[in-house]
Amino acid sequence: MSNACLSPILCLDIGSGTQDVLLYFPDREIENCPKLVLPTPAKIMAANIRAATAERRAVHLTGHNMGGGFSPAMRAHVAAGLPFSCTRAAAFSVADDLDALQKSGVTIRDDAPEGALTLLAADFDPAWWARALDTLGLPRPGLVAACAQDHGFHPGRSNRRGRFVLWEKLLHEASGLPETMLYENVPACFTRLIDLQKSIGGGPVADTGAAAVLGALFEPELRQRSMTRGFTLVNLGNSHTVAFLVHQDRIFGVYEHHTGLLDAERLWDHLARFRRGLLSFEEVFDDRGHGAMHLPLPDEAGGFADTVVIGPRRHMLAGFSAEFPAPGGDMMLTGSFGLVEGLRRQGRLAPNA
């Protein structure tokens, strides 16, 4: 175990609506570790852009590739006839095709126009977090770990299809072990995660879906259940819904769709067929989702009959035969707990830490 992991670990799950934060002390009970649920950086960016629009002021972005949830505010700013510019690095927050971005009215330039409001594009701002921790009287972490969703950069290919390669590699090349998706070396296509890792100082990063599975397995009861029978884990996020077939700490199947395109009945039907291996990739992809796939399903998993639901939109499945656990005592921090669980499984934390 490294000396860094004897110090507090700052764990962040950066979603489309909230960023869910855990300052994890390996020598404390999880209930005594500080926790925060804050607006995601993209929401803060959108609010700043809307304020500049109201003031009729130009906007210039610097920084990195971050979550692009502020794109509607940017488009509204341009539609109002106001200048919007960004550095090349920051431009990838809102588009992979920079030529198309410039045709939409956004200028790519290194310097800010005179009088423009300059905003930092970043999923993690080290200076902001240093001030926040100091203000709260909390120590600086020895390690920062973070997760976010990254569609990836796939030139000439559908981002929905390209992202699903992430899950195909997990199942076919990594034996379905979710801790393999807590990256020290990020695959080159995941440009957002690469920039996030740079921002946090080189610590491990993961996709939010993998962190959600690890967060469920952080909960002792679910971890024990996975060893005796399988369950279907559903992470109903603000933007994406991801489901996993979990058995003996492994993932045997993955389903991913866009939450806004689903209603409860259709999602429940998809899950029923997914757990039986009867939902095809093509059906989900043609429905504007990402896809579905599975390995041969073991009989010992019992048909993955239990449905365990987490995520901020979990209420969608209220009234169905589902469970709504709170891993670590706080469902919103499931992904952050998952980062801790991933570090344990990689041997970077003691098993009982």
Q: Could you report the per-residue pLDDT of 177-194, keeping only the tens digit for each?
A: 999 999 999 988 889 999
Q: Which sign does the torsion angle of CA 352, 10, 245, 303 carry?
A: positive
pLDDT surpasses 70 at 158:
no
Q: What is the mean pLDDT of residues 270-279?
A: 97
pLDDT surpasses 60 at 39:
yes
* Per-residue pLDDT band at 5 (split at 50, 70, 90): low
pLDDT surpasses 90 at 143:
yes
> If you average pLDDT over every residue of the chain, what do you get?
93
pLDDT surpasses 70 at 311:
yes
Extended beta strands in 228-350, E state? 231-236, 240-247, 250-258, 291-294, 306-310
Q: Return all residues near 16 (Cβ < 8 A) that are at least 6 apart.
A: 40, 42, 67, 69, 149, 237, 238, 239
Note the pLDDT of residue 2.
46
Note the pLDDT of residue 353.
65
* Per-residue pLDDT band at 156 (split at 50, 70, 90): low
- Entry pTM: 0.91
Note the pLDDT of residue 3.
43
* Per-residue pLDDT band at 304 (split at 50, 70, 90): very high
Q: Return the structure tokens found at 156.
A: 């000439």
Could you read off the pLDDT of 10-37 as tens digits, one per residue?
999 998 889 999 999 999 999 999 999 9
* Per-residue pLDDT band at 73 (split at 50, 70, 90): very high
167: Cα separation from own chain's centroid:
14
For Cα atoms 216, 217, 219, give the angle at the middle one, nearest 5 degrees.
Answer: 75
Place of tokens 């200028």: 107
Percent of the chain with pLDDT over 70: 95
Note the pLDDT of residue 4.
46
For the chain, the distance separating the N- and C-terminal CA atoms, rounded to the nearest angstrom, is: 11
